[in-house]
């Protein structure tokens, strides 16, 4: 997008700082009584997810990067990536598995948000929760009603999550994609 001044920062903007793409989490203009003004920021690395504090001089030129988020539909797996389709333009893009959180919880035809940086797919984020079918799990033992006891279950996508004892093969369950935990029966 081009060079901007550190005085014009806004939350959510993506910057290119020494080749690392970072998102502005927060910023504060500081004008001390002595010396020049500066801008104190918290920046989140898009690649690593780490948040760092960085200070810029007032008026310092920074590189702002164009970004866009699109809702896309997952079509199929393609080697080391997943292929997504824009529902409006029917354009297809491949996002590497390493750029997708909880890629094993995404099923074909599900809606996913894809972040584009400089018009190229950068990262895909699944919805907060997904409904999946239990493909394989051990049967629960009758009379074993101790609370908070779980067992592993393999889902239709191949992902393994811990579920309560009452969940059986063939059941549809809701899973939180951020924590990979069982939420409820679907």
- Say whether both 21 and 59 belong to one domain: yes
DSSP letter for each residue of 132-161: EEEEEEPPPPTT---TT-EEEEEETTS-EE
At 43, list the tokens: 């920046």
Model-level pTM? 0.71
Express each pLDDT in 91-129 by its tens digit: 999 988 888 877 888 888 888 988 888 888 888 888 888
Q: Are residues 31 and 55 in the same domain?
A: yes
Domain membership of residue 163 as a residue range? 129-185
Q: How far is CA 14 from CA 3, 22, 53, 70, in A?
A: 12, 6, 15, 16
Same domain, yes or no: 13 and 53: yes
Q: Both 17 and 60 in a single domain?
A: yes
Tally the domains of the chain: 3
DSSP 41-97: EEEEETTT--EEEEEEETT-EEEEE-EEEEEEEEEEEETTEEEEEETTT--EEEEEG
Predicted confidence at residue 72, as pLDDT, reads: 92
| Percent of the chain at pLDDT exceeding 70 | 95
CATH assignment of the domain containing 179: 2.40.50.140
| Residues 110, 137 within the same domain | no
What string of pLDDT tens digits covers the 186 residues of the chain? 578 888 888 888 888 888 888 888 899 998 888 888 999 999 988 777 788 899 999 888 999 888 888 999 999 888 888 899 998 889 999 988 888 877 888 888 888 988 888 888 888 888 888 888 898 888 876 655 566 788 889 998 888 999 888 888 888 999 988 888 888 887
Give the residue from 99, 125, 151 where a domain finishes: 125
Tokens, residue 39: 């801008």
Residues 142 and 181 in one domain: yes
The dihedrals phi and psi of 14, each to the nearest 5 degrees, come to -105, 130
Residue 183: left if φ>0, alpha if ψ -120 to 50, beta else—which one?
Answer: alpha
* 110, 125, 140 - which closes a domain: 125
């Amino acid at each position: 997008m081009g060079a901007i001044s550190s005085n014009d920062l806004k939350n959510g903007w993506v910057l290119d700082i020494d080749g690392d793409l970072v998102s502005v989490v927060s910023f504060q203009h500081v004008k001390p009584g002595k010396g020049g003004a500066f801008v104190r920021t918290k920046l989140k690395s898009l690649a690593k997810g780490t948040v760092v504090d960085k200070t810029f001089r007032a008026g310092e030129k920074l590189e702002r990067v164009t970004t866009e988020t699109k809702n896309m539909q997952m079509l199929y797996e393609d080697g080391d990536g997943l292929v997504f389709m824009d529902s409006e333009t029917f354009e297809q893009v491949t996002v590497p598995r390493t750029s997708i959180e909880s890629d094993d919880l995404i099923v074909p035809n599900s809606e996913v948000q894809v972040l584009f940086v400089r018009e190229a797919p950068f990262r895909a984020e699944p919805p907060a929760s997904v409904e999946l079918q239990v493909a394989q799990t051990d049967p629960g033992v009758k009379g074993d009603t101790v609370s908070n006891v779980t067992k592993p279950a393999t889902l239709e996508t191949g992902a393994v999550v811990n579920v309560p004892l009452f969940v059986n093969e063939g059941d549809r369950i809701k899973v939180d994609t951020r924590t990979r935990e069982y939420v409820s029966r679907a």
